Amino acid sequence: MNKLARPAGVAAAAVLAVLGLASCGSTKLKGPQVASQMKSEALAPKGITKATVNCPAEIEAKAGAVVQCSLTSEGKKGDVTAKIADDEGTLSDYEADVDEIQLALIEQNAEEEESGLSQVDCPSSSKPKKGATFFCTGKISGSGFGVVVINQTAEDSSVKVKLQKRKLRTSQIERNITSAVKKRGINAKVSCPGTVTSQKGSVFRCTVRNPANGKQITIVAKQKDSAGNFDLKVEN
């Protein structure tokens, strides 16, 4: 009987192998394949298309396990995860920790959305999400640095932008005009708008009144650069 047991066992194993019933090794997921899925399912919906994703070279497909990959985009780092839904290696429940990367993308999109806007910088604590509003700074052509209000209109980092140009005080110009007139022996009263919006080429007017005789002239101030320097001339 003992002599027949081994051949019978071998025969049974052979039959199972032919029928495809023999035990097989677990499914393995390849890193590049997982990285591609992470890009399309977790990153692309956020508008992130230029990222390098690094996943483990080989991952065992075990239902319930979590796959974690790292990524970089233009020098900024993040992580993305997915859950293995079944033993076939189907991925689901993607999560992306990419606030820093997405915020940089939002800043870039704001510059593209608004002509003449550059060097947009938002607080690092900003949390990108659809409907979020960010109060940032940026360089506005002809005006200098001002406030840039960014509204994230969609998950894919699309934005709408409003600019708040900086305000310039005119008190120094008033003093300059007063000093220039005083050198001519006139103690004039100079009146300019309290503040003006900074924009190269913009104009405002000041009145210069001589209390001694009641005569009055108008000085035209024209902004000549984004630094807030002005050219002055008497209005004819």
115-168 pLDDT, tens digit per residue, is 999 999 999 999 999 999 999 999 999 999 999 999 999 999 999 999 999 999
Q: Is residue 107 part of a domain?
A: no
How many domains is the chain partitioned into structurally? 3
63 with 81, same domain? yes
Range of the domain at 76: 25-97
Q: Is residue 4 part of a domain?
A: no
- What is the model's pLDDT at position 5? 47
124 with 91, same domain? no
Neighbours of 156 (CB within 10 A): 16
| The two structure tokens encoding residue 221 | 């101030």
Mean pLDDT of 53-71: 95
State the pTM of this model. 0.79
- Which residue would you say has higher pLDDT here, 1 or 203? 203
172 with 224, same domain? yes
How confident is residue 236, by pLDDT bands cut at 50, 70 and 90?
confident
Q: Is residue 31 part of a domain?
A: yes
What is d(CA 178, CA 151) in angstroms, rounded to the nearest whole number? 45
With a cut of 80, say whether residue 19 has pLDDT above it. no
227 with 209, same domain? yes
Please state which of the ranges 21-25, 44-48, 53-57, 162-166 shows the lowest mean pLDDT: 21-25
120 with 183, same domain? no
204 with 174, same domain? yes
- Looking at every residue in the chain, the average pLDDT score rounds to 90
How confident is residue 21, by pLDDT bands cut at 50, 70 and 90?
very low
193 with 138, same domain? no
Please state which of the ranges 19-33, 48-62, 63-77, 163-177 shows the lowest mean pLDDT: 19-33
Q: Is residue 77 part of a domain?
A: yes
CB 148 within 8 A of CB 173: no
CB 159 within 8 A of CB 110: yes
CB 66 within 8 A of CB 83: yes
119 with 86, same domain? no
Question: Any long-range contacts for 169-178 (C-beta under 8 Å, 24+ apart)?
Answer: 169/194, 169/195, 170/194, 170/195, 170/196, 170/204, 170/206, 170/221, 173/206, 173/221, 173/230, 173/232, 174/206, 176/232, 177/206, 177/208, 177/219, 177/232
What is d(CA 31, CA 71) in angstroms, rounded to the nearest whole number? 13
93 with 39, same domain? yes
177-218 pLDDT, tens digit per residue, is 999 999 988 899 999 999 999 999 999 999 999 999 999 999
What is d(CA 39, CA 123) in angstroms, rounded to the nearest whole number? 26
Domain boundary at 165, 188, 208, which? 165
155 with 122, same domain? yes
